[in-house]
Amino acid sequence: MLIHPIDFRYGTPEMKHVWCEENRFSCIVSAEAALAKALGDAGLIPKSDAETIQEKAGLAKLSRAKEIEAEIGHEVMGAVKAVSEVCGDAGRFVHFGATSNDILDTATGMQIQQAAGVLAEKLAALRSSLLCRAEETKYLVCMGRTHGQHALPMTYGLRFAVWAAEVFRHEKRLQELLPRAAVGKLTGAVGTLASLGKDGMQVQQDMMQTLGLGTVDVSTQVIARDRYAEYIFFLANCATTLEKIAVEIRSLQRTEIGEVSEPFGKKQVGSSTMPHKRNPVKCEQVCSLARIIRGMVEPALLNNTLWDERDLTNSAAERITFPEASVLTDHCLKIMTAVIDGLEIHEDAVCRNLSFLQGVNLAESVMMELTRRGMNRQEAHGIIRKASLEALEKRCPLKDILSENPAVSAILSAEETAALLRPEAYIGLAAEQVQAVIQKLR
């Protein structure tokens, strides 16, 4: 019986695999095999036994480990005994010198490393999609909005470029945090390495090198959870960027604005009762799941506040936070990439909204030109402000109001004023900025 929506509704196969029970067990077995190799290389166990463990550990079955765990009530010892069974006499050296979290935390480091590879591909795909749309629309003039109100003209390309640059920063963050989060340990019950004596630090280093992980400088019985909190916060930060994009698309798809539409299948149904509906359900899904992902930040932070050298209060929480936050973030990245790739831009609505205020949204352009030609900037602001409010109240073009103002007409001709109120003439270096971002991020 399936209960959690991740099992049947959300998530990609590749990220689900990273956090599935089978892969977790595989990482645990790999950690035990790498430990045996390091012990053999250090001469702490017979080389032949170390080689046998490396060769046969992979034959251990999750099902057998779970059978043993059901009998003895200990997850790691269930895995240890299952591996020992398939290694024959060499099995007596499985888990030699290790404590449970040497293996569990090291396995988690392996899973974070794998998850990061999946996320890196998804982030790169989204960045590429955004850059393609930015290039397509770098000259498409549209209405910019602040506080939900018409502000100044901009371009759609600039909007896509801003999002692409933000996604790129997440790619860099992932690269930067990975050496801190994807690490393993072999420091024993309280972090002293007492069980392995003088060779302990070298054994730890060799074990992690075999696994392709970083090594802690120092730890208690567990790896400090600030490392994991950083990973979870990264996922929450990513999810918030995706929600930011989704919110903007939802807003622009409002009937009253109508500038964009997220992809909609030919047979897709928008409402069970309103046949005309075309709802932005994919973007709404991203917004909804982002709330869940951000909700993982607090338990991830609290998991670092353990008693003394450790307690078990982090364990149950991490069984939920790691897979949920990783799977849902990966899912949202895939959804948002598909939305961007298939996003429809309705240029007729874009043009309609640009002219909706009949030039009032370009009042700054006139104010700036009056100042350049000698008028006091504050005086120009006052004149244009008053004229803009009058134009809004009378619902008439701003150029008509300005043409009747002696202070303005003494400096600007009617033709010059009209030219200043053309949206295409006041987008500044939007296109140039977009092109610079494209060149930098591709």
| pLDDT tens digit sequence for 133-144 | 999 999 999 999
Considering the chain, what percentage of its residues have pLDDT values greater than 90? Answer: 96
Residue 30 has pLDDT above 80, yes or no: yes
First vs last C-alpha separation in the chain? 45
Catalytic positions, please?
147, 271
Which tokens go with 411? 């400096």
Task: Please report the pLDDT score of residue 124 as a whole number.
Answer: 98
Domain assignments of the chain as residue spans, ordered by start = 5-44+96-351, 360-420
Task: Please report the pLDDT score of residue 365 as a whole number.
Answer: 94
Which tokens go with 209? 């090198």
Compute the radius of gyration of the chain from its Cα atoms.
Answer: 30
Res. 276 pLDDT band, cuts 50 70 90: confident
Res. 274 pLDDT band, cuts 50 70 90: confident
Q: For residues 235-261, give the mean pLDDT.
A: 97
Task: Please report the pLDDT score of residue 142 as a whole number.
Answer: 97
Which tokens go with 230? 């950083």
| pLDDT tens digit sequence for 377-432 | 999 999 999 999 999 999 999 999 999 999 999 999 999 999 999 999 999 999 99
Average pLDDT, the chain: 96
Task: Please report the pLDDT score of residue 441 as a whole number.
Answer: 97
Task: Please return the burial class of 255, using the count of CB atoms within 10 Å of its CB with bins 0-12, 13-18 and 19+.
Answer: exposed
Q: For residues 105-126, give the mean pLDDT.
A: 98
What's the rounded Cα separation, in Å, for the pair 115 and 111? 6
Interstrand relation of 183-184 and 214-215 (parallel, antiparallel or unpaired): parallel
What's the rounded Cα separation, in Å, for the pair 125 and 131? 10
Which CATH code fits 5-44+96-351? 1.20.200.10
Q: For residues 73-102, give the mean pLDDT.
A: 97
Nearest-CA neighbor of 439 among 185, 53, 161, 78?
161
Task: Please report the pLDDT score of residue 256 as a whole number.
Answer: 96
Task: Please report the pLDDT score of residue 2 as a whole number.
Answer: 87
| pLDDT tens digit sequence for 326-355 | 999 999 999 999 999 999 999 999 999 999
Q: What is the pTM of this model?
A: 0.94
Residue 269 has pLDDT above 90, yes or no: no
The 10 Å CB-count burial string (b at 16+, else e) for 328-350 is bbbbbbbbbbbbbeebebeeebb
Task: Please report the pLDDT score of residue 264 as a whole number.
Answer: 83
Residue 267 has pLDDT above 90, yes or no: no
Considering the chain, what percentage of its residues have pLDDT values greater than 70? Answer: 100
With vertex at residue 336, the alpha carbon angle to CA 439 and CA 239, rounded to the nearest 5 degrees, is 95
Task: Please report the pLDDT score of residue 270 as a whole number.
Answer: 80
| pLDDT tens digit sequence for 167-193 | 999 999 999 999 999 999 999 999 999
